[in-house]
Structure formats: structure tokens, C-alpha cells
Amino acid sequence: MANVVVVGAQWGDEGKGKIVDWLSERADVVVRFQGGHNAGHTLVIDGKVFKLSLLPSGIVRGGKLSVIGNGVVLDPWALLREIETVGKDGVKVTPENLVIAENTPLILPLHSNLDQAREAALGGNKIGTTGRGIGPAYEDKVGRRAIRLCDLADKEVLRTRIDHLLLHHNALLRGLGAAEVDANELFNVLMDVAPKVLPFADVVWRRLDEARKAGKRILFEGAQGAMLDVDHGTYPYVTSSNTAAGTAAIGSGQGPDIIGYTLGISKAYTTRVGSGPFPTEQDNEIGNRIGERGREFGTVTGRKRRCGWFDAVMVRQAIKFNGINGIALTKLDVLDGFDELKVCTGYRTDSGDLIDYLPASIAAQASVTPIYETFEGWHESTQGARSWAQLPATAIKYIRRIEELIEAPVTLLSTSPEREDTILMRDPFAD
């Protein structure tokens, strides 16, 4: 049986939560391998809504081991709040069903403060971060000054790590004319939270290796989307980690052969939160209609999402650099009732050239013009459909053409937020 990696194939918010939850029934272990609490997943189970940011989606399913890997940056206070929230909905989180890699870097209050200050300073050129300290925490990790979960277990080590961290941060704060961070205050704050989070710490690479040898099915859950990847996305309007499928191995301490099947998630249209290029954006009545029907507001931030037509060029590009084997197409029902639909099949540059990829240059990304193919819409409802036979012929034609353009099969089709409103063409775990 294949271990499955689930990644977004657009700019995030593709509906990964529902798909991961749907797949988690077939999995034994569910792993978060990158990102932080800037990414939100919404799950609807028997009419009850769960909104998760750090906890793997498998946490709401009994009998599953949920894992937060070393590729994640962890805000311990946000984690404890989330554990408390799901606890009120009857989900008990203990070290028996949740483990966190001991070498996971921590997000501290100084990270979110710095994140927000930078965004404010950038003004109209801001990146569009959530302000939760994700970027600064990853910077400290790469700069080898991060405080990791395991550091909380040793007071002397922690004091040394704090001094090393503040050597950088306080120099930066002095340059900005801002108040410096007191080392003793930070130490006390961390010592207070330490006994609450350390029980979850574990040697994750070993736990996953043992699960693998025991024949357990492992589901790797990505955050954000492929086009927000720090290397391959619309840089600099990206997140601070690699969101591509290959990160599943690195972010959990496994070799690349851990990945058996990569499932990409894509909406039947396109959305984006925050700043950055968006060739197929419809800043008009069409975009508003899609946004209203799709309830396009961020799970974590509540920010309104920008909406536009499906961009086959971008999704095909994501499929290539992620090694995606199949696509789960979500929110098809949002397109019910449109007289016509459009799909981007290429771009035209300022010089008039036709290209079939999204270029890396900031200027080129911002200036490309989409080339559209127009499709007849459908007025029948696809909401809640659970078989191909329940879909209008024009909707099937739309899906089949998307498959041709993105050069990958649609293996799952989601027709509502409800878990069971899913059409399965191919089980990823069966490969």
C-alpha cells in the first residue's frame, strides 16, 4: 500500500482539509510536515465544523496517530489553544494520539511582533503574511539560532539558546528604534509553557520508520499551496517554507522513498489570499459571485480571497515540480449556474509571445495576460453528487478538458464540504 502525500496545487485554500480527512479513514498515521499556524483546514464531520491550524487533520479521527514533523514551525501557545478548542468539541488530544518532533523550531512572541512590524513598514509593497511569525521563525532556523522543542527540557541549554537568539534580535530591534526583548522574561515564559508541551515531544523520524516497517499507512498533509513554495512559487509573494511534495520526506525525517503517491488538490476555479500576481483574477462581478458562492474567506484570518477562472497553466506547472500523480478537484458545485466558464490555457507576454508556464521573474509574472478557452456552463446542481451519473454532461466535459490541459487525471471529485459528497475514481492508497 502506498503512503500518500497531499499538497495544494494552487495558492492554498484548495480544500485539503476535507480531502485529508476523507483519506485519513484509510490511514494509520497523519503527518504535518511544513508550515505553521498560518494555514487553516476546515473539516465538516456529521454537521460539526472543525477548524484546525496546527493539528493534523487526523486528530479528529479515533485510532490515528497524528504527527507534527520537524519541518513545521510550532507556536506552543497556539497549539495549546487549539487543543483546548477541539477538546470542547469532544476531541481529546494526548501524547498517545499526538507526537511532535523534538527538533521542531518554536515560534516565539518576538517572531510575530517582528512579522507585523515588517509588513507595516512595507506599506503598499507588503507580502501579505498572516503576521503570525512564521517567516521570522524560519529565518532563525536557517540562521541556526532557533529555539527548538527539545531545548525546553534543559534550563542551561535554554538560557544559552536565548542569549544566542537575542544577540541577533535585539540588535535588529535597536536598529529599528524598538524596545529590546528581556532574556529573563523570555526564559520565564518558555519555562511556563515547557511542561505543557514537552510531553508531546518524541523522536518522530524513528516513530515513522517503525510505522513504515510495520506496514502502517502514512498520510502526509501539506499546508498552503504549491505556488506559495519559497523556491517554486510566485516569489517573493510566497510562504517561508517549501510546500512541494518532496518536503514531506525532509520535514518528517524520512527518505524520499517514503512517498508512494502524490495527490494534488485544486479548486475548479482559482483563489488567492494576500498580495502577488494572479493572471486569471476576476476583480468584477464574476469574481464576487464565485467568492460568495464558495464562501471564500480565510479559515485562519477571515480575509476575503481573490477569485478567478481556473488556471490550467499554473496547475500543470505545480503538477510537474511536485510529481503529482492525480488531482482531487474541489468545489465544482460553486460553478453551478454559470452560462459560460473559462479556463486559462496559456499566457501572452508584453512582447506578444505565447508561453505555457508561469515565469519566475516578478515583472513577467505581473504582466502576463491569460489566454482563455470558453466552455458552456450548466444550470443543474452538482452539489452533493456522489457518482458521475449525477453530473451534468457539460460538467463532465469541463472536467475532462481540465485533465487534458493539466496532464494529470482527476482521481477525486468533491461536490460539497460534507465528507461523503466525494466521487472516487482511484484510491491513492491502493497504488
Distance CA 189, CA 185 (A): 6
3-state secondary structure of 422: strand
The residue annotated as part of the active site, out of 21, 37, 41, 333, is 41
Instruction: Decide: 317 and 355 in contact? Cβ < 8 Å.
Output: no
The answer to whether 31 touches 349, Cβ cutoff 8 Å, is: no
Name the one residue in this structure whose C-alpha cell is 488530544: 93
3-state helix/strand/coil string of 142-175: HCCCCCEHHHHHCHHHHHHHHHHHHHHHHHHHHH
41 catalytic per annotation: yes
Angle between helix 109-122 and helix 134-142 axes, rounded to 10 deg: 110
Neighbours of 226 (CB within 10 A): 31
- In a 13 Å sphere around the CA of 112, the CA atoms on its Cβ side amount to 15
| Under 8 Å between Cβ of 230 and 238 | yes
Phi, psi of 200 (to 5 degrees): -85, -10
Coil vs helix vs strand at 280: coil
Residue 46 falls in the annotated catalytic set: no
Say if residues 41 and 297 touch (Cβ distance below 8 Å): no
Query: Which segments within 331-409 are labelled E, that is strand?
Result: 340-348, 354-355, 369-376
Please tell me the distance from the alpha carbon of residue 223 to that of residue 318, in angstroms, as a whole number.
Answer: 14
Q: Is the peptide bond before 370 cis (omega within 30 degrees of 0)?
A: no
Are residues 99 and 5 in contact, defined by beta-carbon separation less than 8 angstroms?
no
Cell matching residue 24: 485519513
As a whole number of angstroms, the distance between CA 167 and CA 148 comes to 17
Catalytic residue IDs: 13, 41
